[in-house]
Chain A
Amino acid sequence: MLRDITIGQYYPADSIIHRLDPRVKLFFVFIYVLSLFMFGNLVSYCLATILLVVAIYYAKIPVKFLIRGFKPIFVLLIFTTFMKLFITDGTVWFKLWKFTITKEGVIDVIHILVRILYLIIASSLLTYTTTPTRLTDALEQVFKPLNKLKVPVHELTMMMSIALRFIPILVEETDKIMKAQSSRCMNFSSGNILKRIKNLVPILIPLFVAALRRADDLALAMESRCYQGGEGRTKMRILKYKRQDFFVYILLAIYFVFSLIIHLLL
């Protein structure tokens, strides 16, 4: 079950999308998500779908792998859907005992589902096709101007990349600890809620201890290699736009303007 968590993971492949400049991908996802929430009409959703399908196709990410990333949030999705479906007031379509389903409710649910699903697919496409290092490089580049406002951009992006890097490590650690405790006959799934929360203690404490230990080790390793933050630090890979990057920018601009026009017309 824990191995299903694919958030923030990188999927190694050799594709056009993988080779794109990370800044392009970052902007793309940003504008894309923005467009999802700005324009809520059928035509723009269709456009967004086409764009997403094309991106998935060119990224060479297996659909099986994409779907697997949804499993952890599936319950959340179902929950929000039902809440929205039964709570929204409006023209009644359907009545079952105390629950009423309204026209507005159904429309709202469709909006929410499309937006959340596409948001997740788009952002996971970004992390699947971009290594954490490249993503951090891009973020650092993009937010560099904030340095003038005394925002520690490098430090923040470094934190982000470490956090991303640690997701799979901590997942694995949790898996190991859970196995160790269940071999001591620990029962995870019995008793009332209070008992179940208490059951988490034998897992959470070793997990925190492990996280602290790893953080300490990493800090030492970084210091012993003379890491001292962003000041005067040079880059091994310098980000440089290529032709395909401009092409994607143009595509993005066309998509956005087109959606905007349709939105204003409708």
Chain B
Amino acid sequence: MSIILDKISCKYETDMINEHYALKCITAKIEDGEFIGVIGHTGSGKSTLMQILNGLVVPSGGSVYYNGEDIHEKNYNLYKLRSEVGMVFQYPEHQLFETTVFRDVCFGPKNLGWSKKEIELSAFEALFQMGIESELYYQSPFDLSGGQKRRVAIAGVLAMKPKVLILDEPAVGLDPMGKRNILDKIAEIKAERNCTVILVSHSMDDIADYVNRVWVLDDGKLIIDASVKEVFSHKRDLEEIGLAVPQITSIMHMLKDKGLVVNTNVTTIDEAKMEILRKLR
């Protein structure tokens, strides 16, 4: 059970005539149960790559293998792929349409042809896991706040019980509280359901606390594929392409420059505290 990307490249026609490569020869493997963070700044090809994993965009070169099967094979069942690889788009709240929150969450599972009981159970479970209060279940999704809408939309994908969950900038445009809240929820779900999660973001700080492997995309190329600690030790490389390391890693680098010989290999505040205390003792 794995996803293999084999030399994926993707051509885009920008202004109808000129061609531009959104992705250039990307090769990687995603194992079951991994928690991968994808970072890169705007236009680096993150969203395109995610849509390829879901079978929504057909790459112009290379192939994607899901559990050993080429997803662009003629008679490959894309519906089955999409039921197993759930994708949450940027601003997913823009896809809400039903009369009530609950019915909207049921939309995905309904398309899978499950029985009514299964659908409702799975919808309840998803809404509960996303922390939606039960009095909101039968309200119109358009009456909710931005953060609530976002969580309902994510629940709509979760209700399909995906084995792989792809989230494209799930926290973008939310206040710090809402951001934390959503990312924490995703981490909880990951632990509970033991699914593979791919989290796309342009902010290092968001990702560092949660994921255990990071892909750095720049101009359509996968330039770094490593564990969190390793990635942030490439401080220079990251800054060169306009991405910052987490604030706390930056602080550790500064301390080191000032003469306190600490290990700069930390990514969370807790780790930094331990490291500094260890040094000062």
Q: Which residues of B contact A50 (CB under 8 A)?
A: none
Q: Is the CB of B92 within 8 A of A180?
A: yes
Contact A183 B89 (CB under 8 A): yes
Taken together as a complex, chains A and B put the C-alpha atoms of A201 and B112 apart, in Å, by 18
Of residues 22 through 68 on chain B, the ones whose CB sits less than 8 Å from some CB of chain A are 51, 54, 56
Checking A6, A65, A184 against B111 with a beta-carbon cut-off of 8 angstroms, the contacting residue is: A184
When distances are taken between beta carbons in the complex, the residues of chain B under 8 Å from A6 are 16
In contact, B56 and A185 (Cβ under 8 angstroms): no
Q: Is B17 located at the chain interface by the 8 A CB criterion? A: yes
**Cβ contact of B16, chosen from A11, A177, A185, cutoff 8 A:** A11
Within residues 177 to 225 of chain A, which ones have a CB less than 8 A from any CB in chain B?
A: 177, 179-187, 201-202, 205-206, 209-210
Per the 8 Å Cβ criterion, residues 76-116 of B in contact with A are 79, 82-83, 86-87, 89, 92, 94-97, 107-108, 111-112
Cα–Cα distance between A64 and B112 once the two chains are bound (Å): 41
Binding site for A on B (CB under 8 A): 15-17, 51, 54, 56, 79, 82-83, 86-87, 89, 92, 94-97, 107-108, 111-112, 142, 156-157, 160
Asked whether A201 lies within 8 Å of B97 as measured between CB atoms, the reply is yes
Pick from A68, A184, A209: contact of B107, CB below 8 A: A184
Which residues of chain A from 59 to 95 have a CB within 8 Å of any chain B CB?
A: 62, 64-65, 68
In the assembly, what is the distance between CA of A176 and CA of B22, in Å? 17
Chain A contacts for B96, CB-based, 8 A: 206
Minimum CB–CB distance for B174 against chain A, Å: 17
Flag if B79 contacts A187 (CB, 8 Å): yes
Known: A180-B92, A183-B56, A185-B160. A202 touches B97 (CB 8 A): yes
Contact present for B112 and A177 (CB under 8 Å): no
The answer to whether B16 and A68 touch across the interface, beta carbons within 8 angstroms, is yes
Asked whether A183 lies within 8 Å of B97 as measured between CB atoms, the reply is no
